[in-house]
Structures are given as C-alpha cells and as structure tokens.
Amino acid sequence: MTVDDKIILHVGLDDTDSNEGMCTTYLTYIIIEELKKHDIFTCDFPRLIRLNPFARYKTRGNGALSFVVKLNTRHEVKLVEDIVLEYVEKYSMFEGQNTNPGVIFY
C-alpha cells in the first residue's frame, strides 16, 4: 500500500514462544530496536492482539503482535522483511511442542 509516495508495510508476528520461554512481545521489541538502527521507525505503538486464552493448542499468553512502518523504497521493504525473518528464525522457540511461528507482511 502506498500513501503520499510512501510504502506502508504492516508486519504481524505470532506464536514465537513456548511454555518454556521467549515472548512474542519481547521479540517484536527487539525487532523494532534493530529497525531503528537502520532509521526505520514504527508509525505508532505496536499492537497487541489478544487471542483466545482458552485455546487448547496455545503456547503461553496466546497473543500476537503487529506494527506498521512507512518506507521510502522497495529496498527498505526488503530490509524490514529480512530483519523480521532473521530474528523470528533466530529467537523463536521451535523446540516447543505447540510453537509454530507465523509472520505476515502486508
């Protein structure tokens, strides 16, 4: 999506934690901190999406996160995607039985 010749990128993260540790909220925080090092800032506060706390196959808190960035170039879009995917792969608790990380870019 573009607004005023800027590229608006929505990023969503879910299910990066396990019953043993990690936290999708914390992972989102460290991703946003890394983006700041590249002069990429969120348009607003990240959004916490509270999912069904009674779901059988949840990990811990059962929340997802999203944030929005306004970018100037397709190169910046690729940079954001690369950073998000790198951090999700590096920090997600894949060994958790119910951990199935998901990332969406829109």
The pTM of this model reads: 0.86
Predicted confidence (pLDDT) per residue in 38-93, tens digit: 999 999 999 998 876 666 665 566 779 999 999 999 999 999 999 999 999 998 87
Every domain of the chain and the residues it spans: 2-105
Overall fold of domain 2-105: Alpha-Beta Plaits (3.30.70)
**Coarse DSSP helix, strand, coil percentages of the chain, rounded to the nearest 5 percent:** 30, 30, 40
pLDDT score recorded for residue 48: 92
| Beta-sheet strands, E only, within 1-106 | 2-3, 6-14, 47-50, 63-71, 102-105
Tokens encoding 38: 């590249």
